[in-house]
Amino acid sequence: MTAPNHGKRYQRFSVTDSLIKKELPKNPHIQKLRERLARNPNLTSAGVTGLIDGRFEQFGWAEWSDRAADAPILHFDGPLTLRPWTKLVLPRRQKPAEVSFYLVTAGLGEGKPFIQFTEHSPIPRILRLVAEFEFPSKKPAASPIKLRIDFRPSAHLGGAARVPAEAAEGKGKVTVSIADSKNGHVAPATFDVLVVDKLKNEASEPAGRDMERRDLLNTKIKFAGIDDPEKVFSEALKMLEKPGKLTFMVNEQAFQQDKAPAVLKTRIAERLPLAKREELLSTALRRILERIPAESGATYLIRDDHIEITTQRAARAELRIPVDRPFPTLIYEEFENEPCADALRIVSTRGEVSLAVDRQVEQRAKDVCLTARLHNVPAETAVRLLVDMAGLGLARLDNVFYVTTREKAARIERDSMHR
């Protein structure tokens, strides 16, 4: 891990360690990782967080190496470039697709280690992304169709991209850069773009099931409580399962690493009975998880076909949540042309976030419709993203998020820094 000085302050560095999942995607780029995992089932990865000049938070990820000579290198405050959040697939016959990128410093070593800015850093919000596309043409032997998009500044560096009608299906490319990037501070990068007729909804069935599980977690139940001191964790989970609809899977490896090796045999009411209540199923689950003696704490993540019970340490590493922040409430929502005001209301309610909307922007929040897929996203991040997508500003006043104009939000943030 390296960080040049240049008169800057580097502080609050922390390292987390988490097991790499056995269920790796079928991707030729991670074949070596798959082979290493076969040799060592307890292979772990490291997440590193650091703060630069008290303002710019960066997060890095790397695989632990077997030998010191092969150790990966993470370069904090190094040369910047851009990477896409997801594979770039754009449809010809549907509404514009969202493309988004993030700032990154590439590291050295196996597994492509990297450092990126977190959503709490102010840098991405002042940058303007420029994307220069080249699409294949429908006309034989014709030159590629070129399209330049200057996206407005936003936290997620990107926006909607529409494929021209005269473009054909096939492989294109995009070169992304930051407008007015002085002295090449952010290096341009080029990526492949796949143009398809329509986006195949290959995950439509599981996506429907995962949203059904989300809804089940948010339904009220009459939880019978647990007063039997011999009842163990595995039996407690069965009390919450809905046959054929809600299945729990426990990440035992994560708990073993978190000093809770026999997690399924944990006696839930050994010291104190768990009271009977009428409550949300998710609340009952959280009350049970509070009884698990994991070093970092236990939590759950909604997956395509089950609810994963895991440790907060493992969830932090996967979701890139800095270790110096309290573990957040996670949001699992999908919005399709939803008014911003309604989306914010849902996120603030389910994420237990206090939110106030300035009357000056109240109508705009109702008029602007958003499309977003927020799966296992910290509630605060979800609020910031939705507000930014609507072209509004957000200021934090103690524990309240205030939605207002960008100018007023910037003024409030400046005033709070000088208090």
pLDDT in tens, 256-289: 888 888 999 999 999 999 999 999 999 999 999 9
Together in a domain, 275 and 340:
no
Q: 396 lies in a domain?
A: yes
- Domain end, chosen from 196, 212, 246, is at 196
In the beta sheet, which residues pair with residue 301?
A: 308
Q: How many domains does the chain have?
A: 3
Q: 117 lies in a domain?
A: yes
Give residue 353's pLDDT: 92
- Domain end, chosen from 170, 196, 222, is at 196
pLDDT in tens, 160-200: 888 988 899 999 999 999 887 554 578 899 999 999 887 65
Together in a domain, 192 and 216:
no
Together in a domain, 217 and 102:
no
> Which of these, 76, 15, 67, lies nearest to 46 by C-alpha position?
15
What is the pairing mode between strands 170-178 and 189-196? antiparallel
Secondary structure element (H or E) that encloses residue 25, with its range: none
Together in a domain, 184 and 249:
no
Q: 68 lies in a domain?
A: yes
Burial 21-45 (b: 16+ CB within 10 A, else e): eeeeeeeeebeebeebbeeeeebeb
Query: Residue 300: which residues within 8 A CB-CB, separation 6 or more?
Result: 248, 285, 289, 307, 308, 309, 310
Give residue 60's pLDDT: 73
Q: Which domain holds residue 347?
A: 330-417
Give residue 152's pLDDT: 79
Query: What are the average pLDDT values for consecutive 10-residue runs of the chain, which has 419 residues?
Result: 56 62 48 64 67 68 72 78 85 77 79 62 70 92 91 76 88 90 75 82 48 85 93 93 78 89 93 93 94 94 89 90 89 89 93 93 91 92 93 92 94 78
User: Contact at 8 Å (CB) between 169 and 266?
Assistant: no
Residue 385's Cα: distance from chain center in Å?
A: 11
Q: 268 lies in a domain?
A: yes
> Which of these, 173, 171, 149, 172, lies nearest to 160 by C-alpha position?
149
Together in a domain, 309 and 369:
no
Q: 324 lies in a domain?
A: no
Together in a domain, 265 and 374:
no
User: Contact at 8 Å (CB) between 356 and 402?
Assistant: yes
Give residue 182's pLDDT: 56
Q: 5 lies in a domain?
A: no
User: Contact at 8 Å (CB) between 31 and 266?
Assistant: no
pTM of the model: 0.56
Together in a domain, 351 and 293:
no
Task: Give dist(CA 58, CA 80) in Å, integer.
Answer: 12
Together in a domain, 231 and 301:
yes
Q: 4 lies in a domain?
A: no
- Domain end, chosen from 147, 169, 196, is at 196
Task: Give dist(CA 83, CA 158) in Å, integer.
Answer: 11
Together in a domain, 58 and 168:
yes
Give residue 202's pLDDT: 39
Task: Give dist(CA 9, CA 3) in Å, integer.
Answer: 10
Q: 81 lies in a domain?
A: yes
Together in a domain, 67 and 176:
yes
User: Contact at 8 Å (CB) between 151 and 130?
Assistant: yes
Give residue 379's pLDDT: 94
Together in a domain, 189 and 208:
no
**Cα angle 301-304-310, degrees, rounded to a multiple of 5:** 25
Give residue 206's pLDDT: 43
Together in a domain, 334 and 377:
yes
